[in-house]
């Protein structure tokens, strides 16, 4: 029984490594990209830590790719994610409807949600190819992943005292006026980047992410 479990775990781990760098690697570098851009009323970083960049470079170098665009897609996704994060920094400076506390909660949440993102992405990466045949099946896969990873998400958000709406499936119409709604909406977009990133690395596009965040496209396998 132990041998069977070990083989299953090894196979799942290999499947995750073969697809490409983990989303958390890309997110860490994109956050540095965004933080280091000087804005009116906000200076950029004075010294850029290189650990995250080196980890991403190593992950790109050792990956066995499923799509032709390979490392160029990772770079394009990183650029799109960086741009989104820059826009949120700029929005905080000019949009009075975005409360400073909500933006700070967003940044703090990104610091503690790594276990959730790893769990979430792991579920997606070990899914069969049939899970990526349409936007509807990708929606279901994302919902299943969120359900399976409810505990690390709960623990992370409890740790920072977040009591706003659930960011998975956040509805701006139903939840937009609730306390913490801006935090939830931004976290929803980050999760959408994660889903779109992993779907594209399997050669699929996801309409929900395309409708709400700007993501690059990938090339399907022949």
Q: Which DSSP string do the residues of 46-101 spell out, in sequence order?
A: SS---HHHHHHHHHHHH---SSSSHHHHHHHHHHHHHHHHHHHHHHHHH-TTS-HH
Stretch 2-31: mean pLDDT: 62
Question: How many other C-beta atoms are found inside a 10 Å radius of the C-beta of residue 78?
Answer: 20
pLDDT over 60 at 168, yes or no: yes
β-sheet bridge partners, residue 42: 39
Is residue 54's pLDDT more than 90? no
Long-range Cβ contacts of 12-15 (<8 Å, 24+ apart): 12/122, 12/126, 15/125, 15/126
Quote the CA–CA distance of 37 and 41 in Å, as a whole number.
Answer: 12
Answer yes or no: is pLDDT of 118 > 60.
yes
Domain spans, the chain: 15-212
Quote the pLDDT of residue 6. 29
Give the tokens for residue 118. 């790893």
Q: What is the pTM of this model?
A: 0.85
Read off the DSSP letter of residue 164. S
């Amino acid at each position: 029984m132990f041998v069977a479990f070990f083989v299953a775990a090894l196979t799942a781990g290999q499947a995750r490594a073969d697809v490409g760098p983990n989303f958390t690697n890309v997110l860490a570098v994109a956050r540095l990209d965004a933080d280091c851009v000087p804005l009116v009323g906000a200076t950029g970083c004075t010294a850029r830590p290189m650990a995250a960049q080196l980890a991403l470079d190593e992950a790109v170098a050792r990956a066995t790719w499923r799509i032709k665009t390979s490392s160029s897609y990772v770079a394009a996704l990183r650029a799109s994610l960086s741009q989104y994060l820059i826009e949120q920094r700029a929005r905080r400076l000019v949009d009075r409807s975005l409360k400073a506390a909500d933006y700070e909660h967003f940044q703090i949440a990104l610091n503690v949600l790594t276990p959730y993102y790893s769990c979430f992405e792991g579920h997606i990466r070990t899914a069969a190819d049939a899970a990526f045949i349409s936007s509807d099946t990708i929606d279901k896969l994302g919902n299943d992943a969120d359900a399976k990873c409810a505990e690390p998400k709960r623990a992370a958000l409890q740790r920072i005292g977040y009591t706003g709406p659930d960011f998975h499936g956040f509805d701006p119409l139903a939840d937009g006026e609730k306390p913490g709604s801006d935090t939830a909406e931004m976290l929803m977009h980050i999760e959408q980047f994660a889903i779109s990133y992993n779907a594209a690395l399997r050669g699929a596009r996801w309409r929900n992410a395309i409708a709400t965040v700007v993501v690059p496209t990938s090339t399907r396998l022949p």
